[in-house]
Structure 1
Amino acid sequence: MGGCSKRAVAKGVKSNLLLILMIIAMAVGIGMGWGLRFVEPKLTKRDIFYLRFPGDILLQMLKMLILPLIVSSLVSAMASLDLQESGRIGLRAIVYYITTTLFAVIMGIILVLSIKPGDHGDKDSITRSGKSKVVNTADALLDLIRVSFPDNLIEACFQKKITDQIPIEKPEPTTMDPENLTAITMYTYNITNETEEVSEEPQQYEPKVVTKPGMNVLGLVVFSLFFGCIISRMKEKGRILAEFFEALNDATMQLITLVIWYSPIGVLFLIAAKMVEMDDPEVVFTQLGLYCVTVIVGLIIHGYIVLPIIYFIATRKNPYRFIYGMVQAIVTALATASSSATLPVTMNCLEHNNNVDLRVAKFIAPIGATINMDGTALYEAVASIFIAQINGIALSIGQVITVSVTATAAAIGAAGVPQAGLVTMVIVLTAVGLPTEDVTVILAVDWFLDRCRTSVNVLGDALGAGIVYGLSRKELAKMDANKTKENGHTEKKHAITSVNIANGDVTVNGIHNASYLGDESTNL
């Protein structure tokens, strides 16, 4: 009996070895990082740079796989799906994304208006660090459309075009020699100078489309979707392309498996380095503690209560068993703070741990990592109202609704990279007339909350793939049946590979079948 239990334990450890290693790595990273904070002499920036190096290697490997994974998975998925059925699957995904993002925003607004973190404590003690980026709301929303259609596909792999606000230089004031002025002109000259000194005009900006470094993930997603649709419509002519991208996807997934086994080492050093470089965490979390609590409570409720309920209603399956299969991706998201970098791990967990149909996983996961940002939407709703509270500004119902709508749109436009939500946060603040420079208030804790909301983003993507798979079983079965029927028809069509007619006997594929009156021998 004892031998059986030992074998069962050994089997359980073996099947969950990677997950166990990830959890151990995260715990050791936190402990090691916190301990190194008290080492004398203090670690320098160079020391932290070296400490982070194994983690940087993990990030680079994950980012290296984003491009081949997104393109190959989306193109092969669209090429293998029937266009009519894939349209239904895509519609379910879009409905899920919009619904859950709105739920997240509403949850954040309810919590921040109930807890009111900005109305507690000493508001003057909250430090402001850095400068906020100047963002125009209309330009930012138009950029979302602009990056969806890149003018150069190769350039989209490492650059994207966005609108930047260029300050307009004010013309130099005209100088006059006071000695040559009459009394009246002199009086006017003095008054003009006094007025210019008292009232300074606000800085004006003009929009300019500039090229910024960074992969244009949204543009690649849009191209891959359309390209896959065209291959699907080409039928037999597009088969060779479909097989190429399918093979590329298989090869990429095998590379991902190799990287994933290295991920515990990278996660350990990423977390340790981040713990060491924190500036006075006790003071920071004392100042912004209630704000952090509000965001984290909202993320927990949304990610581990609301989304699982939606999953259970849609699939009638245990959502927490599904979440258990995604723990590795959640931990990777906590370490990297990037849903795009976590995408390879997410795909691996969906396919191998939760047995989601590969066609759905390849179709839903890359799109979700690009546009489905539940955690970011909740965070932006909480942060914008928190900034209003610390400034003593009471938002009207209309402004709260504006926050919810703008936060939802801004979350969709947020890139799946660390701290991208800070840029889109300025859009939300601008929409309701809040001071954009106060975005620097939350910079001190954003690195921490960024990791928390990224893990919820990844969890939302995964549960979305599970829900779409559960609701699309009939369509997938129908596609399988049609594919089997087509393959059977093709086999039947090409079943006659050789016909030999000689002396009145007919031989088909080497089998004597019938007689034929003729004196010619023919091979087909």
Structure 2
Amino acid sequence: MKKLALHWQILIGMTLGILWGMFASGFGLVNFTLDWVKPFGTIFINLLKLIAVPLVLVSLVTGVSSLSDISRLSRIGSRTIGIYLTTTVLAVILGLLLVNVFEPGKAFSAEKREEFKEQFAGATTEKSSDAESVKKQGPLQPLVDIVPSNIFHSMTDNGSMLQVIFFALLFGIALIMIPPDKAQPVNDFFEGLNMAILKVVDIIMKTAPYGVFALLAGLVVEFAGDDPGSAVELLLVLGYYCIVVTIGLALMIFIVYPLLVVFVGKTNYKTFLKGIFPAQMLAFSTSSSAATLPVTMECAEKNLGINREVSSFVLPLGATINMDGTSLYQSVAAVFIAQAYGMDLDLMTQLGIVMTATLASIGAAAVPGAGTVMLVIVLQQAGIPVEGIALILAPDRILDMLRTTVNVTGDATVAMMIARTEGQLHPVKETEEV
């Protein structure tokens, strides 16, 4: 009997996790779920985080050193960053168009606004203080943060992925510049290490369906508590806002990316979606582009035929700086909060949101909830009351799952485009697809 494909196993795990969460909320099993089920989800996330930094470091070193031509590295790098910035700006503008047309914020009553502000006052203060510390930094601080003072310290923190990428690029370039006979032993070491790390990824992914089940079960019971109806009621109140964000994210996945995949990547979009689907499901359940990166790379290489030379460079970079879904969410959320407070934002203010959201997405860590902290900076730049973030904290975890799925899909789309233009996209047989 043929083994069920990984993405179907993950999908089943997600479904069962949600059902268990609702069942646990209704039958007094909330504490049992939090104590005995959710920890396995945490273990799964820790396993993915465990391998994220080694994977990025080793894959980038092998990818850059295999280029054997610095001018080619410069060409691929400039194209990659250019496309990432373009899709991010497009996502922000799309979000602004949708939120101005549908105006979801105007559906809020003053009573409901005060209720949310009171309920989430603590979380709002925490996000505001985090953002304030970022805001106090100088204009070139993001550039300073890219260069590590101690690479070993950076490798102990998944939030320092840009620093790891910088070191890996620098080390890979150095390997290109030294004599080939001296570089070869180092290249062989990293190639072997890369194979071992990918095998660790395979082992971890065998536990994915169970980890996803535990994650979703824990999420549902935390959201609903002992009353499953409260989760439904809360989502209905904020449903309009969620629908607008979801429409924007759907347009990215089903309109924007298909156009890029078909006309630039010259690949059937159904084939593309089928190949990247396991990574999308994992992104949805983990809300972390960084945690999903090992699977995204595996799907890109095995299912889509993207050469490792391209995937090992473009995808780790995308997981760090390309946040299309997060950028779209930030633009919708900012204007939504302004509408809820009865503010009318002029064109210049909204153009400022485009710029700030784009830059904020580059600096956002590829972990759950990072976009919320960066949103505070967007709100402050636009002169929108920061406490209004309390209005969107309730459904944010669900939307975080959706926008992370868009982020990962965008990374794979750009990787396919770069691979096609570089002649590094190889046909994949149907039997090889997940």
In the superposition, the TM-score normalised over structure 2's length comes to 0.90
> Counterparts of 1:47 and 1:362 in 2: how far apart (Å)?
38
Aligned to 1:154: 152
Closer, same or farther in 2 for the Cα pair 1:459/1:100, shift >3 Å? Answer: same
Deviations 1:389-443 (A, max 9, x none): 0111100100010001110100111000010001100110111111112212211
Are 1:55 and 2:41 counterparts? yes
Call closer, same or farther: CA 1:89–1:156 in 2, change over 3 Å. Answer: same
State the alpha-carbon separation in 2 of the partners of residues 409 and 108 from structure 1.
16
Higher helix share: 2
CA distance in 1, matches of 2:105, 2:329: 14
- Asked whether the equivalents of residues 337 and 450 of structure 1 are also in contact (C-alpha less than 8 Å), the reply is yes
Give distance in 1, aligned partners of 2:374 and 2:138: 8
Looking at structure 1, the residues matched to 342 and 367 of structure 2 have their Cα atoms a distance apart, in angstroms, of 32
Q: 1:369 aligns with which of 319, 323, 329?
A: 319
Out of 204, 218, 224, which is 1:273 matched to?
218
Residues 7 and 281 of structure 2 are in contact (CA less than 8 Å); yes or no, is this contact kept in structure 1? no
Counterpart residue type for residue 69 of structure 1? L
Secondary structure of 2:146's partner?
A: coil
Q: Is the 8 A contact 1:371 1:414 kept in 2?
A: yes
Match of 2:227 in 1: none
2:73 aligned to 66, 82, 86, which one? 86
Q: Deviations over 1:425-473 (max 9, x none)?
A: 0110111111112212211111111111011101111111111101111
Please give the alpha-carbon distance, in whole angstroms, between the structure 2 residues aligned to 1:341 and 1:353. Answer: 19
Residues 15-66 of structure 1: CA distance to partner in whole angstroms, max 9, x if unpaired?
x621221121112112221222111x3522x641321122111111110001
Q: Output one character per residue of 1:226-254: Cα deviation in whole Å (capped at 9) or x when no partner.
A: 11111111132222222211111111001
Q: 1:379 aligns with which of 329, 332, 342?
A: 329
Q: Which residue of 1 aligns with 2:179?
A: 235
Aligned to 2:52: 66
Pair 1:75 & 2:20 matched: no
Name the residue aligned to 1:406: 356
Q: Is the 8 A contact 1:140 1:427 kept in 2?
A: no
Cα distance change on mapping 1:429 and 1:119 into 2, 3 Å:
same
Which residue in the other structure is 2:254 paired with? 304
Determine if the alignment matches structure 1 residue 37 to structure 2 residue 32.
Answer: no
In the other structure, the counterpart of 1:434 is: 384
Query: What corresponds to 2:346 in structure 1?
Result: 396
C-alpha distance in structure 1 between counterparts of 2:337 and 2:12, whole Å: 37
State the aligned residue count: 408
The answer to whether the aligner puts 1:21 opposite 2:9 as a matched pair is yes
* Structure 2 runs not aligned, ≥5 long: 225-229, 427-434
Partner of 1:339: 289
Larger radius of gyration: 1
Structure 1 match to 2:365: 415
Report how far residue 141 of structure 1 moved.
5.3
- Structure 1 residue identity aligned to 2:370: A
Q: In structure 2, do the counterparts of structure 1 residues 297 and 223 end up closer, same or farther at CA, with 3 Å as the change threshold?
A: same
SS of match in other structure, 1:133: helix
2:307 is matched with which residue?
A: 357
Shift of residue 138 of structure 1?
5.8
1:102 to 76, 83, 89: 89
- Contact kept, 8 Å, 2:283 with 2:404, in 1: the verdict is yes
Q: Name the residue aligned to 2:111.
A: 124
CA RMSD, aligned part only? 1.7
Deviations 1:304-341 (A, max 9, x none): 21111111110222122111111111111111111000
State the shift of 1:286 in Å: 2.2
- 1:202-213 equivalent positions in 2, closer than 5 A: none
- Residue by residue over 1:130-153, the C-alpha shift from the partner in whole angstroms, topping out at 9 and shown as x without a partner, is 223233436275442232011111
Give matches, 1:170-319, under 5 Å.
215-236=159-180, 237-279=182-224, 280-319=230-269
Structure 1-normalised TM-score? 0.75
